[in-house]
Structure 1
Amino acid sequence: RVACKEGAVWITHMKGRGKKTSLPTIKLPATEILPEAFMSTIPTVADATSVDDVYSHIENGVATVSFPCLNGAMSTEQCERLNTHLKETYARSDVKVVVLAGGPSSWSNGVNL
C-alpha cells in the first residue's frame, strides 16, 4: 500500500517479487510493469517535459546540476534532457562554474540499455 498526504505519489520504477510472479524481476519503468488495463485508468501528464529529473541550484555563481537516475543508468531521453539543461545553464550570465551531481548512491555508470 502506498499513500501520501496529498493523495498522490509518483512511482517511477517497479519489479516483480516472489517466485510465483509473472512480472519481470528486474527494475523497469512502472509503465512497462503495470497491466494495460490498469494503466488505461491513469490520467496522462499534460506536459511530459515538466519531469524534473534534471534540476539545478545556483548560488554565488556556482550552478549545481543534479540528475539522479535509477541505479546510475541514464536513458537516451535523460541524456538529452541533461544536455539541454546544461546548455541552458552555460548560457546564463550569473553562472561562473557548473558542478555535476548524480543521485544519492551513484553518479552515472552509463546509458540504460
Structure 2
Amino acid sequence: MAAALTSPASLQTIVLLVCSNLFMTLAWYGHLKNLADKPWWIAAVVSWGIALAEYLLQVPANRIGFQQAGLSVAQLKIMQEVITLAVFVPFAVVYLQQPLKLDYLWAALCMVGAAYFMFRG
C-alpha cells in the first residue's frame, strides 16, 4: 500500500485532494458561521463559488490518480473519504467550535479499515 502511494503522481493526487477538500468543507459548512444571518440562497450562491475552486482541484486530482498513478476509482473514492474526514474534524472543532467527540475516532478507524481493504495487495 505505501509503495503505491509514494509515486509523484500519487502524491500529487493526495495534495490536490487535500486542497480540494479544504474548499469543499468551507463551501459545505462555512456558511453556517459566516453567512448565518443571510438568506439560504445567498449562502448557496457563495458556496457554489467556493465549490468551483474545489472542482478545479478535485477533477485534476482524480484524473492524475486514475490515469497516471494507476489508482482505481474505488481507491480514489476511499482516499477522498479519508481525506474528507481528516479535513472536516479539525474544521468542525477549530473553525465551527464544535465539540471533539469520540465518535470521530470511531469513524476514523472505520475509514482506516476501508482504506486497508481498498489498498491491500
Structure with greater strand share of residues? 1
TM-score by length of 1: 0.26
Structure with greater helix share of residues? 2
TM-score by length of 2: 0.25
Q: Find the structure with the greater CA-based Rg.
A: 1
